[in-house]
Chain A
Amino acid sequence: MAEITIVQAVNDALKEEMTRDDDVVVLGEDVGVNGGVFRCTADLHEMFGDDRVIDTPLSESGIIGAAIGMSLYGLKAVPEIQFSDFIWPAFDQITSELAKFRYRSGGQFTCPVVIRTPYGGGIRGGHYHSQSPEVYFTHTSGLVVVVPSDAYDAKGLLKAAIRSPDPVLFLEPKKIYRAPKMEVPDDDYVVEIGKAAVRREGTDFTITAYGAMVEVAMAACEKAAEKGWNGEVLDLRTLVPLDEESLIASVTKTGRLVTLQEAPKFCGFSSELSAIVAEKAIDVMEAPIKRVAGFDTPFPYTLEHVYMPHADRVLNAITEVMTY
């Protein structure tokens, strides 16, 4: 067992998968000699060389287009988009092309690309280094969207993604890239895609969260416990395909739901969760669903600590559902 950060977990997963399978290649801006601006691809260039760890020119559409081509021809491309805020020049390649190859060719062509990209706030990066773009992609059929919240899952889910036959968008919560450290087994393991995890068992209310918001949900539950309310935290881990069963099971137990995301609220992923619960489990609900989210504004620089959902804001929502 080694104690590692999420950055190290991503790096280990890449090393292990590249060692296991010669077809795995990594490409992107600054991923080679520099080892990635967040160091997620450190040492790979030395270990696997120029052909498999590729510093590309500055073009996201070039990076994803190349990855698609490589995958069509049998490589397993794992491109990095340096910040998810810079994924948009590749939006066309991802949504019109990558996501639709299997369908449009009647299953003849597939491109199981794994796009890794850091997302989210908490690093004082202003609007172009802080956004949470998940719903632009969860809205695109054909893409798998994964968001780990700790080192164990980051490693296990990334390995599962690389072995998956479908294209995966792998969103890495950069706020918690380096903390907290966590024990991770040395042996090969994968975490199954499409399964949520209960991080805290409770009976009074459910909080759904993913990525960096899981720790905020946990902290809010500690505060709620002081008031005698026992919360359950459901870490979604995979957004598409969603583990609906675990969501319904949890709200069936608690009857109350607070959803938590740092992306803007309007049409956010939580809106989908609310709709599913409303459609499939409204009869068990004892209070209206509350969504805690980023504001429907661009992400600010100086005031990011006000913008980002924090435990006190979540506690206010918990109080509302508990005192309804």
Chain B
Amino acid sequence: MTDVLQVLSEQGDIDNSLIPDLTEERMVELYRQMLTVRQLDTRMLNLQRQGRIGFYGTCKGQEAATVGSGAAVGPDDWVFPALREGGVLLLRGFDLDKYTAQLVGCALDPTHGRQMPCHFSSAEHNYVSLSSVIGTQINQAMGVGWAMKIKGDKNVCLGYMGDGATSSTDFHAALTFAAVHKVPTVFVCQNNQFAISVPFSKQTASNGIAIKAHAYGMPGVAVDGNDVLAVYKATQDAVARARAGDGPTLIEAITYRIEGHSSSDDASRYRDDAEVEMWKKRDPIERFRRYLTAAGLVDDSVVEEIATKVKNDVDAAIKAAEASPMPSVETIFTDVYAEMPAHLREQRDQTLNESGGGENEGAFPL
């Protein structure tokens, strides 16, 4: 295994030689963002159990990897998420009401309830629409980075993926192209040890993901994915290299998926509770809180205040989304083409005039 970058020890002690360039305020803000992601996960998984949303995939245990990497790029940079990076969109200023609206799939959702929960999209935030199809975004992130280079912009592109996605053929093409053409794309792999039930040991015989970068001809950096400062630092360094014209980097954030793959997965079928318990003890939020407290950036009352605010914000956003009606039937037919062709107009009109209807039923198994 390559060296694993760590800034905060599991106890929350800091290595001062590695501390990234972040103001105290910003550090507290990152903490708040991690807590928001956790609170959303807790509430949404519950709503799913109550049948109020159809599906949910949590980021639980991976908040440092998501928030730490997402915070290291600016508003003009672009982001291609995978399933667990919704928090990056929030970091970029996306409205929490619209976020919960996407999860509920209601009219308030800017994408008209067309996609399953967690598939956010916001052009305004340079956060590219997520496809469920694993791996496809890695090549697209390479392409966006390439365009940035061709146009002479100093922007960079973040391309996220899970460990499973590194087995896709898209991963191979993306890294090959990106390195040959010195594309300013930073690939971030959240190695959470599982692709649904398939453990990392069955995903690849490689000694980690970061090491794969070398053969493609780019730096590979392994980082403690439960250490928000280390993830931030690794991403910040990679982004600086990309902006300077030195090409792509592959970052492997080593972390763990605490919940099942999604609301429909029973992880007890394929993994040990003991392993989960061990990783729970490495909780990234708690680790960061210990550091912030020891460094005097927060005290118990501030922590309490942040938690209350986060809880209230999330509650209010859920309320707003649930108060919104279903998207209109018209939205099935719009955005297929720039202009609606005749055959779609015909199908739309027929549907709007139709009597009776189908039953709204079914439950997602995965």
- The answer to the question of A164 belonging to the interface, with a C-beta cut-off of 8 Å to chain B, is no
Question: Given that A55-B197, A55-B198, A295-B347 are contacting pairs, would A89 and B364 also be in contact in the complex, using a CB cutoff of 8 Å?
Answer: no
| Interface of chain B residues 317 through 366 with chain A (CB within 8 A) | 326-327, 329, 331-333, 336, 343-344, 347, 351, 354-366
Among candidates B198, B203, B329, B336, residue contacting A298 with C-beta atoms closer than 8 Å: B336
Among candidates B54, B204, B351, B363, residue contacting A57 with C-beta atoms closer than 8 Å: B204
| Interface of chain A residues 290 through 309 with chain B (CB within 8 A) | 295-298, 300-309
Contact of A302 with B354 in the complex, beta carbons under 8 Å: no
Question: Given that A57-B204, A127-B115 are contacting pairs, would A88 and B133 also be in contact in the complex, using a CB cutoff of 8 Å?
Answer: yes
- For A223, the closest partner residue in chain B by CB is B356
Question: Quick check: which of B143-151, B163-171, B278-286 contacts chain A, the rest being far away?
Answer: B163-171
Beta-carbon contacts of B158-198 to A below 8 Å, as 1s and 0s? 00000011011110000000000000000000000001111
- The answer to the question of B49 belonging to the interface, with a C-beta cut-off of 8 Å to chain A, is no
Contact of A128 with B131 in the complex, beta carbons under 8 Å: yes
Among candidates B343, B347, B359, residue contacting A310 with C-beta atoms closer than 8 Å: B359
Residues on the A chain within 8 Å of B347, using CB: 265, 295-297
Among candidates A29, A59, A297, residue contacting B196 with C-beta atoms closer than 8 Å: A29
Residues on the A chain within 8 Å of B359, using CB: 305, 310
- The answer to the question of B47 belonging to the interface, with a C-beta cut-off of 8 Å to chain A, is no
Please report the C-alpha to C-alpha distance between residue A124 and residue B354 in the assembled complex, in whole angstroms. 22
Q: How many residues of A contact B (CB 8 A)?
A: 54
- The answer to the question of A288 belonging to the interface, with a C-beta cut-off of 8 Å to chain B, is no
Question: Given that A57-B202, A59-B168, A124-B54 are contacting pairs, would A300 and B332 also be in contact in the complex, using a CB cutoff of 8 Å?
Answer: yes
Chain B min CB distance to A299 (Å): 9
Q: Main secondary structure on chain A at its contact with chain B?
A: loop
- The answer to the question of B122 belonging to the interface, with a C-beta cut-off of 8 Å to chain A, is no
Among candidates B270, B362, B363, residue contacting A34 with C-beta atoms closer than 8 Å: B270
Question: Given that A86-B133, A124-B364, A295-B333 are contacting pairs, would A34 and B197 also be in contact in the complex, using a CB cutoff of 8 Å?
Answer: yes
- 18 CB-based A-B contacts, threshold 8 Å: A34-B270, A57-B204, A58-B134, A58-B168, A88-B133, A89-B170, A124-B364, A126-B114, A128-B133, A296-B343, A297-B344, A301-B115, A302-B106, A303-B113, A303-B327, A311-B356, A316-B354, A316-B355
| Interface of chain A residues 116 through 137 with chain B (CB within 8 A) | 121-129
- The answer to the question of A189 belonging to the interface, with a C-beta cut-off of 8 Å to chain B, is no
Residues on the B chain within 8 Å of A58, using CB: 134-135, 164-165, 167-168, 195, 198, 203
Question: Given that A29-B198, A126-B116, A310-B358 are contacting pairs, would A303 and B366 also be in contact in the complex, using a CB cutoff of 8 Å?
Answer: no
Beta-carbon contacts of A71-89 to B below 8 Å, as 1s and 0s? 0000000000011011011
- The answer to the question of A195 belonging to the interface, with a C-beta cut-off of 8 Å to chain B, is no
Q: Given known contacts A33-B270, A126-B132, A297-B332, what 6 new A-B pairs fall within 8 Å (CB)? A: A55-B198, A296-B336, A297-B333, A301-B105, A302-B106, A302-B113
Beta-carbon contacts of B117-156 to A below 8 Å, as 1s and 0s? 0010000000000011111000000000000000000000
Kindly state the interface size class of chain B when it binds its partner.
35 or more
Please report the C-alpha to C-alpha distance between residue A88 and residue B133 in the assembled complex, in whole angstroms. 9
Contact of A129 with B329 in the complex, beta carbons under 8 Å: no
- For A90, the closest partner residue in chain B by CB is B169
Beta-carbon contacts of A229-254 to B below 8 Å, as 1s and 0s? 00000000000000000000000000
Contact of A85 with B357 in the complex, beta carbons under 8 Å: no
Contact of A300 with B114 in the complex, beta carbons under 8 Å: yes
Contact of A306 with B203 in the complex, beta carbons under 8 Å: no
Contact of B116 with A175 in the complex, beta carbons under 8 Å: no
Chain B min CB distance to A148 (Å): 18
Among candidates A83, A124, A307, A308, residue contacting B55 with C-beta atoms closer than 8 Å: A124
- The answer to the question of A103 belonging to the interface, with a C-beta cut-off of 8 Å to chain B, is no
User: Among A35, A124, A307, which residue has the most Cβ atoms of chain B within 10 A?
Assistant: A124
Residues on the A chain within 8 Å of B168, using CB: 58-59, 89
Contact of B105 with A302 in the complex, beta carbons under 8 Å: yes
Chain B min CB distance to A94 (Å): 14
- The answer to the question of A315 belonging to the interface, with a C-beta cut-off of 8 Å to chain B, is yes
Contact of A298 with B114 in the complex, beta carbons under 8 Å: yes
Contact of A123 with B332 in the complex, beta carbons under 8 Å: no
Chain B min CB distance to A47 (Å): 16
Please report the C-alpha to C-alpha distance between residue A316 and residue B353 in the assembled complex, in whole angstroms. 11
Contact of B132 with A129 in the complex, beta carbons under 8 Å: yes
Chain B min CB distance to A86 (Å): 6
Residues on the B chain within 8 Å of A275, using CB: none
Chain B min CB distance to A274 (Å): 16
Chain B min CB distance to A304 (Å): 8
- For B347, the closest partner residue in chain A by CB is A295
Residues on the A chain within 8 Å of B132, using CB: 85, 126-129
- For A38, the closest partner residue in chain B by CB is B365
Contact of B355 with A302 in the complex, beta carbons under 8 Å: no
Please report the C-alpha to C-alpha distance between residue A307 and residue B363 in the assembled complex, in whole angstroms. 16
Residues on the B chain within 8 Å of A33, using CB: 197, 269-270
Contact of B54 with A301 in the complex, beta carbons under 8 Å: yes
